[in-house]
Structure 1
Amino acid sequence: MTFYGFAKKVVGMLLKPLFRIEIIGLEHFPKEGSVLLCSNHINNFDPPVVGITAPRPIAFMAKEELFKRPLLRFLLKKLNAFPVKRGMSDREAFRKALHLLKSGQVLGLFPEGTRSKTGKLGKGLAGAGFFALKTQAVVIPCAIVGTYRPFKKLKVIYGKPIEMEELRESKASAEKVTAVIMENISYLIKNHQ
């Protein structure tokens, strides 16, 4: 068993009963091939919660500051996470993300770029649209709905793949594609509150 698989099992045993996690829409998640997984971001627990509910390993972009602590850096790297500098164009992180998608893996993004302070869905950054346009990855919207209060139900909803063909053919902007992704996440949130 890989470290990722082991960590997923252990963390799942802790978090699934604690937050009474309900998983919806797993049938929409492709069993193989590259996937761009885009989720809302309401809590620091979001990456592990998405990680334990998704059927495949996910490589998350994580803020660079988290990699400054040696133990955390070791764990994050073992869990496929890689650093991104926030608030600027980080070419190395972009190259790494494109490589992951072009090699048939799952890239996890929180398009808002940071946690929502209010719990409401914020505006998405153009990066999500950029990766969707530059690769043939299947784009899966994901919504985390709930409060992260112990023993209150938390839902993780995987939506249907977003239809990308028309957007790619019409040479839509990265901003436009991100807006479409955010609309899909918003739809999942509204339909599962």
Structure 2
Amino acid sequence: MIEEVFVDVKDRMTRAVESAKDGFATVRTGRATPALLQNLQVDYYGTPTPLPQLASVQNQDARSLIITPYDKGAMKDIEQAIRDMPNLGANPSNDGTVIRMSLPDLTEERRKEFVKLVKNRAEDARVAIRNVRRAGKDDLDSLKSEVGEDDVARAEKELEVITKQFIDQVDEAFKRKEAELLEV
């Protein structure tokens, strides 16, 4: 029973860490990467559709991306979605078959804003992990009558160790992203 609680807690904490890492990937560093557009929603015939379902995105070089739509009719919608995307500052252009997107250089002030954004996402992930810990602790407390108080107390200590491991993973991912952002 206690193991079932741990399996559920670890699964949910793993998802929180992965969500944080995905969020970090969408924050722009000095390089152009297809992950920047991974969560971009394009209004495709009145339906919000993720860009990866409408086009392939590839690096042309360190500062630009090439977006090749599967349906040429979606080109204007994709361009508009990129222009409307906050925190990107890119102005896409198309030649009728592909969309080219060059990213402007990041200023030091802009880099610091992105670090704050990533820091907030890391804190959100830590809060999510702590909420999972709280739910796991509640589940363990409900098992006291079945497995005994000593086993529950040992399990709660182990839950704290597991929580610290996952929070450390978020902190490590944040440090890597912060270093990427501040790298000139």
TM-score (norm. length: structure 1):
0.27
**Structure 1 or 2: larger helix share?**
2
Bigger relative contact order, structure 1 or 2, given CA contacts below 8 A and separation 6+? 1
Decide which structure has the larger Cα Rg and report it.
2
